[in-house]
Amino acid sequence: MRAEMAVPADPAAVEGPAAGNRRRRAPRRWQLSGTRVLQIALALIALQLVVRAVVLSRGYFYWDDLILTGRSGSLSLLSSEFLFYDHDGHFMPAAFLAAGLATRLAPYDWLVPALMLLVLQALASLALLRLLRLILGRRPVILIPLVFYLFSPLTLPAFAWWAAGLNALPLQIGLAWVTGDAIRLCRTGSARHAISGFLVFAVSLQFFEKAVLVPLVAFVAVALIYRVDGRVRPIRTALSRGALFWAPALLLAAVWSLIYRLTVTTDFAPFDGASAIEMVRHATSNGLLPTLFGGPWTWDRWPPSPPWADPPEGLIAASWVLAAALVVASIVWKRRVAWVWIAVGAYVFVSVTAMVVTRSGADTTFELGQTLRYLTDSAVIIAIALALVLRAPVRAGRTAPGRGPTVASAVAAMSAFVAGSLVSTATFADSWQDNTTRDYLANARSALAAHPDVPLLEQPVSIWVLLPVAHPHNLVSRVLGPLPDRPEFAPATPELRMLDDDGRAVDAEVTWVRAIDPGPAQGCGHRIGSDLVELPLDGPLARWEWTVRLNYLSSADGEIVVSLEQGEPVVVPVRNGPNSVFVRLTGGGDLLELRAMGPDLALCVGSGPVGVVVPVP
C-alpha cells in the first residue's frame, strides 16, 4: 500500500526504462542529498521568519485588533458572549480566546501578538514542508513550491494584521497538516493519522469558518496524487483508503455548520452582476495573479483602510501571460495534470465568490479584493498544485536535452520570484507602517494615567483609529478599557475633557445646539426633588448622542436620574453646593427629564447647553 503513493526514487520508475536512458543523457539536474535538501528548506523557513519579523516590527494594532482587545478587557474569557460572538459574520472562538489571553498578559503590547503571529507562521511553514516531503520526498524540487509559499506576497497582508492572522494562519496550518495526515493514512492505514488529522481540523475550525473546506482539500489532493500516479479509479481509491478520516470529518463539518448557522448572521449583498464582475477582476487581475510572480511591487492606501495591491499595468498583463504559459507548459510537459489546475481554479473561484456575496455592497469598494486577505490561503493550494505537477510523470518525448527545466533555469526563476517578492514585502511594510493607532494609544495611555481620579466622559475614539461604522466598539470605554492605569469611563463627569485625534487629553466644552430654558423659580430655576420634573428645551433634538451641561445647586451629595424625552435614563452623581456636571445622553425630543434619588435631596438647575463635545479653542 505504501508503494502505491510513494514518490519514486528514480524518475524511470514512472516513465519507463527508455525514459530512464534519456534522462541519463539529459543536462545535469539537482545533485543534493535528502539531508542537505532538508537543511536548505529549514534555512529558507528561518529566512522567511526573519523577513516577516521585520514586517511585524513596523506594524501595530489595527482596526479589528482594537475590537478584539476591547472585548477581551470587558468580558470573561470563557463566557459564551465572548467566545461565540458574531464578529462581522465570522465564527472564531479560538481566535477570541487567543486575543483574550494576549490582552490579559500585556494589553496593547505589540510584542505579544507579533510573537503569536511568528509562531503560527512557523507552524504553517513547517506543516507545508512536511506535506511537500510526503508528495515529493526529499528531492530538491520540493524547494520550488516551498519558496513560492514562504515568500509570496499573497500571504503577507493577512499575516501582518493580527486579527486576520488569527484566522488565516490556523487555516493554512490546517490545510497543510490535515492533507499530510490524509496522505499518510491512505499510505499506511494507521488510525493515528486519522486521529491527528481530525484533531487539527477541529482546532482550525475554531479559528476560521473557512476551515470547513480543509477535509475537501485533503480529499482532492489525495485523489489527484492517485491520478497523477496513474491509478485507474483515483476517487474511489481515495474514498476507501481514507474513510477512517473522511467519515468523522464530514460529521464534524455538518455539526459545526449547524452551530455556525445558529450563531452567526450572514448578510448576503443583493446581486449586482456588473459590480460582481468588477470585484472579481480586481481580486484576480490586480490582486492574486501579480503575487504569483513576486508582485504587486507597489501598494496603495486610503487611511484608515489597509493597503491593497496596486500593480503596474505591465505586470498585470505579464501575469496573465505567464500564468497561462505555466499552465499550458505544465500540461504539455507532464501527464495527467490538467485536473490539478482545474482544482486550483475551483478553490480560487469559491474564495472569490464567498468574498463577493458576503462583502460586496453599496459601501464596499472594489479594492477590497486587492487587499488579498480573502485569497491568502490560496498560497497553500497553489504550493500543493506545484508539488503535484512536479510529481507527475513526464510525457514521452519530453525528457530529451533541452526539453525540460534545468537547475540553472529553476534557480533563476526562483531567484527572480524571491527578489520581486522582497520588493513587494518592503513596499508593503512601508505602507503598513502608516498607522495612527500607535501614537494615539501611546498618548491616550499617558493622558489617562495622568488623571486617574476624574471620570472620562464616554466618547468615540479618533476616526483615524476606528470609523463610526464600528460603533459601539469605537467608544473609548471599549478600546481603552483594557489599560490598567486609567480613570473610570462614565456617562457623567464634573470635568469635561476629551481625547483629540492624537490621543491627548484636552479641555472641552458643549456646543449650544439647544439650551435648557430658564426655570420658573426665582433665584433657583428648576426645582428638582424626588418627583419627575420636565425641563423644556428651546427646540427639538433629533435622536442622537448628546451631551448636556447641568448647572445646579445641590442640598447634599447624592444622585439624580437624567434623560431626554425619548431616551434611556442615566444616573448622575451630584455634589453638595453649586457645581456643574456634564452628562452624555442618547435620545431626542423637546424635554429634559430629571428627578432626585432620595427624599432628602433637592436641587436647583439653571439654564445650560445641550449639544456635542468639542475642544476648547
Q: What are the per-10-residue average pLDDT scores of the chain (617 residues)? A: 40 33 43 88 98 97 95 91 90 95 95 98 98 96 97 97 97 98 97 97 96 97 96 95 96 94 76 80 94 96 89 96 96 95 96 85 76 95 98 78 69 94 97 94 95 92 92 94 93 95 95 95 93 95 95 96 95 96 95 93 96 93
Q: Which pLDDT value is given to residue 267?
A: 66
Q: What is the DSSP code (8-state) at residue 287?
A: I
Q: 526, 550 in Cβ contact below 8 A?
A: no
Which run of H or E residues covers position 528? strand 526-528
- List, in order, residues 6 or more apart from 450 with CB less than 8 Å away: 505
CA distance 16 to 265: 56
Total Cβ atoms within 10 A of residue 469: 8
As to burial, measured by CB atoms within 10 angstroms (0-12 exposed, 13-18 middle, 19+ buried), residue 258 is exposed
Nearest to 605 by CA among 532, 492, 537, 519: 519
Within 267-337, residue ranges assigned H as helices are: 273-283, 289-291, 313-333
Q: Tell me the three state secondary structure of residue 300.
A: strand
Q: Tell me the three state secondary structure of residue 200.
A: helix
CA distance 118 to 165: 10
- Buried-exposed string 329-354: b where 16+ CB fall within 10 A, e elsewhere: ebbebbbbbeebbebbeebbeebbee
Q: Which pLDDT value is given to residue 146?
A: 98
CA distance 88 to 92: 11
Which structural domains are found in the chain, ordered by start? 36-60+110-432 (no CATH), 443-498 (no CATH), 514-615 (2.60.120.260)
Q: Which pLDDT value is given to residue 7?
A: 43
Helix axes 111-136, 162-188, angle to 10 degrees: 30
Tell me how far CA of residue 238 lies from CA of 2, 186, 244, 249, 480, in angstroms: 13, 7, 11, 14, 52
Q: Tell me the three state secondary structure of residue 229.
A: coil
CA distance 39 to 36: 5
Tell me how far CA of residue 473 lies from CA of 44, 64, 96, 355, 612, in angstroms: 40, 9, 15, 23, 20
Q: Which pLDDT value is given to residue 410?
A: 87
Total Cβ atoms within 10 A of residue 188: 14
Helix axes 234-241, 243-263, angle to 10 degrees: 80
Total Cβ atoms within 10 A of residue 397: 9
Q: 454, 582 in Cβ contact below 8 A?
A: no
Q: Can you name the residues that pair with 509 across neighbouring β-strands?
A: 614
Nearest to 399 by CA among 332, 490, 345: 332
Q: What is the DSSP code (8-state) at residue 471?
A: T
Q: Which pLDDT value is given to residue 408?
A: 87
Q: Which pLDDT value is given to residue 365?
A: 78
Residue 173, Ramachandran bin (φ over 0: left; ψ between -120 and 50: alpha; else beta)? alpha
Q: Which pLDDT value is given to residue 191?
A: 96
Instruction: Pull the grid cell for residue 532.
Output: 419627575
